[in-house]
Structure 1
Amino acid sequence: MHKFILTIAGGGSTYTPGIVKSLLAKKEEFPLKELRLYDNDGDRQEKVAIIVKEVVKEFAPELKVLTTTDPETAFSDAEFIFAQMRVGKNSMREQDEKIPLRYGVVGQETCGPGGLAYGLRTIYPMAELIDLVEKYANPKHWIVNYSNPAAVVAEAMKKLRPNARIINICDMPVATIRNMAAVIGEDRNKLVVDYFGLNHFGWFTKVTVDGVDRTDEIRKHAIKHGLLVEDMTKVDAQHSDPSWIKNWKNIQYMMEMFPDYIPNPYLQYYLLGDSIVEHTNVEHTRANEVMEGREKRIFDAVDEYNRTGEVDLSSFYTGVHGQFIVDVAMSLAYNLRKRFLVMVENKGAVMNLPEDAMVEIPAYITSDGPEPIRVGEIPTFYKALIEQQYAVEKLIVEAAIEHSYTKALMALTLSKTVPSAFKAKEILDELIKANKGYWPELN
């Protein structure tokens, strides 16, 4: 069986050990010849690599692991590239969250002004990554992209690198499917879902198991409890932190008002924004929770290893994040035509949305990429919300390409999370100062 060369771009991410565990759990079906970690922060990557190498030692000691900050070394002849870059790291994520909150506006890493700030930091580094991969990698490579904000990245790459061999994915729909499966006592892999929207901005319309429609069961539970079950730690440790418990609970309130479809949890930032702000501590946001939680666990484990030569790998769970990206890669590698929710250019799949919108819908994943499944027409309320959000994403991409302050201001003003153009301008001006050196210059 052919063995693959796979590179993780963003090897210094705290998600890397979990992704590697997921890869090695499928080592018989998806064997690797070489695993490479690539990051522009070599010091951070080397620390994370200590854990990665221990994972490899336990599960696949024969696998060659290479860490590098050199793109030619990283990508030469690589067949798969898992991209998970975080430009500005968690210190800039903290600014994305806290600056809008100071103005009474949702502070979140992928939604609202914070998401647009993150997008402006990520667009050109992602284009640069694509260029490096195309220069050095196997011509039939695939980039499987987890880098956020995925909707903005997908829209930008459609314009800047339209021929890139990239598939943009997000684990949030899969995590939601996992919770729905727990609600009805089924394996998540047995659920087949219908869904439409943009990334972090969509709705589940139907859920079947073995051909039987289970949507009403999930809907009734969600109206009463959100997508919480009694013990969330048994569902997935990754999404059972206190802030995530709130997120799953908030689905209840959206379902009480709009019961037809089951919302992606991130819709709370657009539909329940005032409540979200009211219950958020501007001094301690999700960025702080991550730095004090997952990030601290990784670097504490590195310190422990340096002291004792031992590390407890059980704390580095796999979860749906790692499993999903591996499943997508396998479907690409072996033409499995598995059905997943991914981001694709609409091209009529959702009949009454713009043709060029980067929608998130079901698709069969083949060796030639995704084959979207047609959704048909969607109702007015959802269509209007999606068109507004798509206009926001399109404007922020145009702002980056054209170096346009006005279009960036338009994007923030149009965001459903921002109450007025006055607020949008105040937030934008402060974000410009905070992102000096990261953003394209806006004139």
Structure 2
Amino acid sequence: MKLTIVGGGSTYTPELIDGFARLRDLLPLEEIHLVDPDPQRLELVGGMSRRMLAHAGHPAKVVTTTDLVAGVADADAVLIQLRVGGQDAREADETWPHEVGCIGQETTGPGGLAKALRTVPVVLRIADAVRRHAKPDAWIIDFTNPVGIVTRALLQHGHRAVGLCNVAIGFQRRFAELFGVEHDRVSLGHVGLNHLTWERGILVDDSDRLPNLLRDRLNDLADDVHLAPALIEQLAALPSYYLRYYYAHDEVLHEQLHEPTRAAAVRAIERELLELYARPEENTKPEALERRGGAFYSEAAIELLAAMQSGTDRARVVNLRNDGRLPFLPDDHVIEVPAVFRDGAFVAEPIAALPDDMAGLIASVAGYERLALDAAVHGGRDRVLRAMRAHPLVLQHDRAEKLTDLLLAENARFLEWAR
């Protein structure tokens, strides 16, 4: 099997390589092609990847290239993990919304819109190369944020694609450890949009443990996602950490105004990692990679790829077409729920009706996402403004106008229509 990683120069890549080495029995990889426009990063990450595989006795060959077509040619699967504009663009996303009293975050709110505008056209160009040069049945697995919007762009343009995020697998692994069971015995009632999800059930061998957790460990759950115990108790569900940007917006904004940005922290970690990757004696995943984020990133990708290769009845949380699962959304909207890969396609499991507060927030953010994708594909200030105003963290027209001007000032160099 040939796997291509677009954005292969990312400091995340050795996390994947470590997973390939540990879980080799799940995924028969023969070639791993790393594609990235930065040759210096490619050299460092590619060298580290080769040493890690050799140290683990894994036979896969690592090929590095700046040539997208060469990288995806005859690939069985293509994983996309890129960040247009790098950490500098991320730091901007995390700061300029503060000028208008909004949170700064790279996937949620005004910053998330900026990232979508920068990212969607680039991913669609990559996907066109995959369509022309990879194997006819090759799948695209999108890890690139905002995953829901990017995956919908891919599906709308007819690509064989699925979106993947590590939030669900992080919860699964955490609860498996809490209950002292193997992780494959834990499944989640995970529902929502990417970075807007709730766990409505935590099943161990088909027995729902969430009600007892809400009764006995409520404060611990609340601490874990940094939200009020009373909120979680009333929801009778565990929100993902990203819901904090909605449920505790002003508290988060206050923190952001008085703390360094996440981009600054990640930039420092990346410098440390690249220095480690440059050392010829380094051949195992460094501890610093744990601080980079993306916990269980490799496990999520490998388990999904393995399931797609061999087929399984086990559901995995992915981003895919709604197709009626949430009846208040259009069929072609992308939702994040458990699904089974069957007969060459992902099929979402049935979803119990959602309470009005969850459904209302999902519907509101989904409306914004559709407008954001329209702006990303077609361009134009009016489309950006309309998407900005539709986001439930913005809404006010004057605020949306100011945020749109700030977004365009920071991102015009990335947007062909705005140059």
State the TM-score, normalized to the length of structure 1.
0.88
Alignment of 1:17-416 (within 5 A): 17-60=14-57, 62-159=59-156, 161=157, 163-220=158-215, 223-226=218-221, 248-250=225-227, 252=229, 254-256=231-233, 258-281=234-257, 284-293=260-269, 295-303=270-278, 305=279, 309-310=281-282, 313-315=285-287, 316=289, 319-366=295-342, 368-416=344-392
The 1:186/1:122 distance shift into structure 2, 3 A limit, reads same
How far has the Cα of 1:282 moved from its partner?
5.9
Please give the alpha-carbon distance, in whole angstroms, between the structure 2 residues aligned to 1:298 and 1:367.
41
Report deviation, 1:251.
6.3
Alignment partner of 2:341: what SS?
A: strand
> TM-score when scaled to structure 2?
0.93
AA at the equivalent of 1:20: I
Q: Report if aligned partners of 1:38, 1:68 keep a CA contact under 8 Å in 2.
A: yes
How far, CA to CA, are the matches of 1:183 and 1:338 in structure 2?
21
Q: CA deviation at 1:158?
A: 2.9
Partner AA of 1:275 in structure 2? E
Give the secondary structure class of the aligned counterpart of 1:197.
strand
**Alpha-carbon distance between aligned partners in 1 of 2:185 and 2:222, rounded to the nearest angstrom:** 18
- Farther off after superposition, 319-328 or 370-379: 370-379
- SS at 1:359 equivalent: strand
Counterpart amino acid of residue 184 in structure 2: N
Partners of 1:358 and 1:87 in 2: CA distance: 22
SS at match of 2:184: helix
CA distance in structure 2 between the aligned counterparts of 1:358 and 1:27, rounded to whole angstroms: 31
Structure 1 counterpart of 2:285, one-letter code:
L
* Residues 355 and 61 (structure 1), Cα distance of their counterparts in 2 relative to 1, 3 Å cut: closer
Q: Hey, what does 2:9 align to over in structure 1?
A: 12
**Range with bigger deviation, 180-189 or 46-55:** 180-189
The answer to whether the 8 A contact 1:195-1:204 is kept is yes
Structure 2 CA distance for aligned equivalents of residues 149 and 251 of structure 1: 26
2-structure distance, mates of 1:285, 1:264: 20
Gap change, CA 1:341 and 1:288, over 3 Å in 2: same
CA contact (8 A) 1:222 1:252 kept: no
Aligned-residue RMSD, C-alpha: 2.1
Q: Is the 8 A contact 1:190 1:210 kept in 2?
A: yes
Deviations 1:174-200 (A, max 9, x none): 112223333433333211112221111
Gaps of 5+ in 2: none
Counterpart contact for 1:222–1:251, Cα < 8 Å: no
The amino acid of 2:359's aligned partner reads K
Distance in structure 2 (CA, Å) of the matches to 1:338 and 1:439: 41
Q: Aligned partner of 1:300: which letter?
A: E
Secondary structure of 2:413's partner?
Answer: coil
In the TM superposition, residue 442 of structure 1 has moved relative to its aligned partner by: 5.3
Say how many residue pairs are matched: 415
Q: Summarize the Cα distance change of 1:185–1:27 in structure 2 as closer, same or farther, 3 Å threshold.
A: closer
1:115 Cα deviation from its structure 2 partner: 0.6
Q: Whole-Å Cα distance in 1 between the matches of residues 409 and 84 of structure 2?
A: 16
Contact kept, 8 Å, 1:201 with 1:386, in 2: the verdict is yes
Q: Which moved more, 1:95-104 or 1:418-427?
A: 418-427
